Structure formats: C-alpha cells, structure tokens
C-alpha cells in the first residue's frame, strides 16, 4: 500500500500506527469509526465523516461521523446524498479540496440543524476502479485550509478503508457459503445416519412385537414403533426445509425486482428508483422469497397499468424484518370502491399467507404507498 509523499516523518509514523490499529479492530463498524477518528485527528480537523455506498451505489448504507455529538447527529436526521460536492468525488473519482464550502458553486447547502462548516477535504473510497463511498474532513482547527499533505494523508486512509470494506464483504460471502455447506452437511448426516438407524431400530422392534407378552408390554412396544415413525417423518421435513434453503443460493431479491422493472422500462418514460439497506446476503425461506417477488410484481404492475404513474420508487430494507415498499405518483386507490380485478386481492392474500403486515396509503391526495413487512423465517 502506497502512502504517497507525506513530508512529515512524525505524521507518516502516526499514520502507519493508525493503519496498524485498524487491522486489529474486531469488526467492521469499529474499524470504520477508527478510520474517521484517526484521519480527523491526524489532519487537525474539527469534523470527519465516512459514507459507505450501498450495492446500487445510489445512497449510503452506512454513515459514521466524528466531532459531532449524538444530539447534533439526531437533530440533522437527513443523511448526505450523492448530490453536490459529495457526488463529485463519487462520479469523478478524485479528491476535492475547498477553502469555503458555502462559496463553492457545486455545494447544495447544509441540511437543517447541520453545523456550518468552512474548509473541506474529501476523497473517494475506491477499489478496483469502483467507488465504495467517500471519506471527508471539515474545518481545520487552526483556521487555515487543508493542504496537499492533508490530502495525501486522507488518501492513505481511503485506500485502507477500501481494503477493509472489501475484506468485510468477502467475509460475508464466505460466511454465507459456509452456512449453506453446513446446512447441506447436516441434512446428509440426518439422512445417512439418524434416519437409517432409527428405521432399522423400528424394523427390529416391529419384528419382535408379536411375540411379546403380556399385552400391556406389547402395546407399549407398538406405541414406541409408531413414535419412531413420527420422528422419522419430522426429520424428513427438516431435511426438506434445509434443502429448500440450499436451493436459494444465488437467488437475489433485488435482482428479481430489477428484472420486473426492466420489463416496464422498455419503451417507457416511467422513472424507477430502487433503494435498499441492511444485510443483502440474507437467506430466507423460499416461500417468503416467492411471495415478496410476486407482491412486488403485482404492485408495480398496478402502478404502471392502472394508476398511470410517472415515478415509481421501490425500497427493500433487511433488518429484523424484511420490508418492501413501493410508492408512486399515479391516480391512486379509491378505498371506498369495490375493484373487480384480482390484483389487490392477490396482494392481501399473499400478505395473509406469510403472516406479514401490509399497509396501503394514499399519498398527499395523489399516488399510493404500499409497505409490506414480513419475517424472513430463517433456519
């Protein structure tokens, strides 16, 4: 890893110490917090922040700050976006150094309750030619501007952050594959060892049952044989459930939604936006997966063909629940009217089958917002 031409030996030593500290951090969040803290302090800045882009690279999935109190962060509420100065770093993949943020014509201003900041230094987090996010500082404590050494320092932290993020994502992929392999190994073990041995025991017991006296003991033997049959049946159900999980390898909910949207985008002027957050590698029950895809298709179809929407926003959030949201600016639902079609009925039916929570709202007199929340039923 190259650290550029940082001229101050003490600063270079401090940088290397900070990078080595990052290696020892136990988890991704701790490592990213340490990146922001170390970069801000070494560059002599008052504020620092690190934003990680989601897979679609259209919004932030993680945002970590340094120098702001929890009260200040909560008061701001609105996360930074790809617009303005921050967007320049992502689209142009180059550093940005500014004397006064407000005076820069690329600035889109500060959100409500955001502290006013003056000098600015930001660099993109890039790996293999692709942007992962950005790392930036604001307000030199000495009142001056950020200089070239500060920029090289921040670039070094940016490179380290890119490696940390890629390592974390690779670890997630490996963990997912390992989980699938473990499930398949357990399924094989249940079938080859447990079921076959239980079946053999049941056969031996059944062969002896007719010769057993007295009758009360014979009845007990027969009950035990029947109970073994029930256990074997339950284990087979478990194996089937595990196999269903294994079949989900490579099935991607966002990819399925993209396919639905592609069908409507061809020859259409409709503007689609897709956002997501949370653990994208999550493995869910196959029936839940299918219901989510079908609900997404039904809702998007209704918005296009019946509500004549021009803008449709689809969101997927993975947390304790899986949340699918679709909002549009179409003609909306008349909640007092009886509809002859099956679209709305199908959506409600699927939500009921999954024990999910479905809400449908009219948005500001025009358009519809549909939110479906469901447990993933992970094994």
**Are 16 and 165 found together in one domain?**
yes
339 shares its domain with 190: no
Question: Is 60 exceeded by the pLDDT of residue 259?
Answer: yes
Closest among 160, 142, 150 to 8, alpha carbons compared? 150
Give the length of the chain.
379
Rounded Cα–Cα distance for residues 40 and 150 (Å) = 10
Instruction: Examine the pLDDT at 379 and tell me if it is beyond 50.
Output: no
Per-residue pLDDT, 151 = 92
What's the pLDDT tens digit per position in 313-349?
999 988 778 899 999 988 876 655 555 556 778 888 8
154 and 32 share one domain: yes
The single residue listed with the structure tokens 């190259």 is 2
pLDDT for 130: 78
In this predicted model, what pLDDT tens digit does every residue of 19-31 receive, in sequence order?
666 655 567 788 8
Does the pLDDT at position 301 exceed 50? yes
Residue 98 lies inside a defined structural domain of this protein: yes
CA-based nearest residue to 304, from 357, 276, 338, 268: 268
Report if residue 151 sits inside a domain.
yes
98 falls in which pLDDT band (50, 70, 90)? very high
Q: Domains in the chain: how many in total?
A: 3
Over 80: is that where the pLDDT of 138 sits?
yes
Bridge partners (DSSP) of residue 323 are 317, 373
Structure tokens at 267: 């020859």
pLDDT score for 103: 84
pLDDT digits (tens, 9 = 90+) for 278-287: 765 555 666 7
Q: How far apart are CA 195 and CA 340, in angstroms?
A: 51
Q: Identify whether 22 is part of a domain.
A: yes
Q: Is residue 332 part of a domain?
A: yes
Q: How far is CA 143 from the centre of its chain?
A: 39
Check: CB of residue 312 under 8 Å from CB of residue 327. Answer: yes
Q: Pairing state of beta strands 96-98 and 120-127?
A: antiparallel
Confirm whether 379 is domain-assigned.
no
| pLDDT mean over 84-92 | 79
Instruction: State the chain's mean pLDDT as an integer.
Output: 79
| Tokens 């956002």 found at | 275
Same domain (yes/no): 191, 258: no
Quote the pLDDT of residue 250: 46
Range of the domain at 271: 253-374
Among residues 204, 225, 246, the one where a domain terminates is 246
Domain assignment present for 157: yes
| pLDDT score for 242 | 61
CATH at residue 60? 3.30.450.40
Q: Domain check: are 237 and 272 in the same one?
A: no
* 164 in the same domain as 17: yes
What was the pLDDT predicted at 52?
86
Residues 152 and 259 occupy one common structural domain: no
Task: Identify whether residues 43 and 115 lie together within a single domain.
Answer: yes
Q: Is residue 37 part of a domain?
A: yes
Would you say residue 153 has pLDDT above 60? yes
Q: Lowest mean pLDDT of 4-8, 343-347, 370-374, name the range.
A: 4-8
What is the 3-state secondary structure of the chain?
CCCCCCCCHHHHHHHHHHHHHHHCCCCHHHHHHHHHHHHHHHCCEEEEEEEEECCCCCCEEEEEEECCCHHHHHHHCCCCCCCHHHHHHHHHCCCEEECCHHHCCCCCCCCCCCCCCCCEEEEEEEECCEEEEEEEEEEECCCCCCCHHHHHHHHHHHHHHHHHHHHHHHHHHHHHHHHHHHHHHHHHHHHHHHHHHHHHHHHHHHHHHCCCCCHHHHHHHHHHHHHHHHHHHHHHHHHHHHHHHHCCCCCCHHHHHHHHHHHHHCCCCCEEEEEEEECCCCCCCHHHHHHHHHHHHHHHHHHHHCCCCCEEEEEEEECCCEEEEEEECCCCCCCCCCCCCCHHHHHHHHHHHCCCEEEEEECCCCCEEEEEEECCCCC
The answer to whether residue 4 is domain-embedded is no
User: Who has greater pLDDT, 194 or 372?
Assistant: 372
pLDDT band at 176 (very low <50, low <70, confident <90, very high): low
Q: Do both 309 and 333 map to the same domain?
A: yes
pLDDT score, position 371: 94
* Together in a domain, 193 and 67: no
Residue 205 binned pLDDT confidence (cut-offs 50, 70, 90): confident
The answer to whether residues 370 and 271 belong to one domain is: yes
- Given 227, 246, 265, the domain boundary residue is 246
How far is residue 63's CA from residue 361's CA, in Å, rounded to a whole number?
A: 30
Q: How far is CA 33 from the centre of its chain?
A: 19
Boundary of a domain, candidates 205, 223, 246: 246
User: Could you read off the pLDDT of 33-80 as tens digits, one per residue?
Assistant: 888 998 999 899 999 999 888 766 767 778 889 998 888 888 876 666
pLDDT of residue 18: 64
Domain CATH code at residue 350: 3.30.565.10
Q: What is the mean pLDDT of residues 257-274?
A: 83
Q: Does residue 141 sit in the same domain as residue 181?
A: no
Q: Give the pLDDT band (50/70/90) at residue 1.
A: very low
- Indicate yes or no: pTM above 0.85: no
């Amino acid at each position: 890893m190259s650290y550029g031409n940082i001229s101050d030996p003490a600063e270079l030593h401090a940088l290397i110490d900070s990078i080595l500290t990052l290696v020892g951090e136990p988890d991704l969040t701790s490592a990213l917090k340490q990146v922001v803290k170390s970069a801000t302090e070494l560059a002599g800045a008052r504020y620092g922040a690190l934003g990680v882009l989601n897979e679609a690279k259209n919004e932030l999935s993680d945002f970590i700050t340094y120098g702001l109190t929890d009260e200040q962060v909560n008061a701001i509420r609105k996360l930074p976006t790809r617009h303005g100065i921050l967007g320049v770093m992502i689209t142009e993949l180059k550093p940005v150094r500014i004397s006064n943020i407000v005076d820069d014509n690329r600035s889109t201003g500060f959100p409500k309750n955001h502290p006013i900041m003056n000098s600015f230094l930001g660099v993109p987090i890039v790996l293999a030619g692709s942007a992962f996010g950005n790392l930036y500082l604001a307000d030199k404590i000495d009142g001056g501007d950020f200089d070239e050494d500060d920029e090289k320092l921040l670039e070094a932290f940016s490179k380290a952050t890119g490696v940390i993020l890629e390592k974390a994502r690779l670890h997630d992929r490996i963990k997912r594959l390992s989980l699938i392999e473990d499930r398949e190994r357990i399924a094989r073990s249940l079938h080859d060892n447990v079921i076959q041995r239980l079946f053999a025991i049941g056969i031996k017991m059944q062969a002896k049952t007719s010769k057993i006296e007295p009758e009360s003991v014979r009845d007990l033997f027969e009950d035990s044989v029947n109970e073994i049959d029930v256990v074997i049946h339950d284990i087979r159900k478990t194996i089937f459930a595990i196999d269903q999980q294994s079949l989900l390898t490579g099935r991607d909910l966002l990819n399925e939604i993209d396919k639905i949207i592609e069908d409507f985008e061809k020859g259409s002027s409709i503007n689609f936006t897709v956002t997501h957050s949370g653990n994208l590698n999550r493995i869910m029950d196959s029936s839940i997966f299918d219901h989510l895809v079908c609900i997404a298709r039904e809702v998007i179809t209704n918005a296009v063909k019946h509500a004549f929407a021009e803008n449709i926003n689809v969101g997927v959030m993975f947390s304790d629940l899986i949340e699918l949201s679709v909002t549009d600016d179409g003609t909306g639902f008349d909640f007092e009217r009886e509809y002859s079609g099956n679209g709305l009925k199908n959506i409600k039916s699927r939500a009921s089958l999954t024990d999910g929570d479905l809400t449908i709202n009219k948005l500001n007199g025009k358009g519809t917002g549909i939110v479906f929340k469901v447990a993933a039923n992970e094994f």
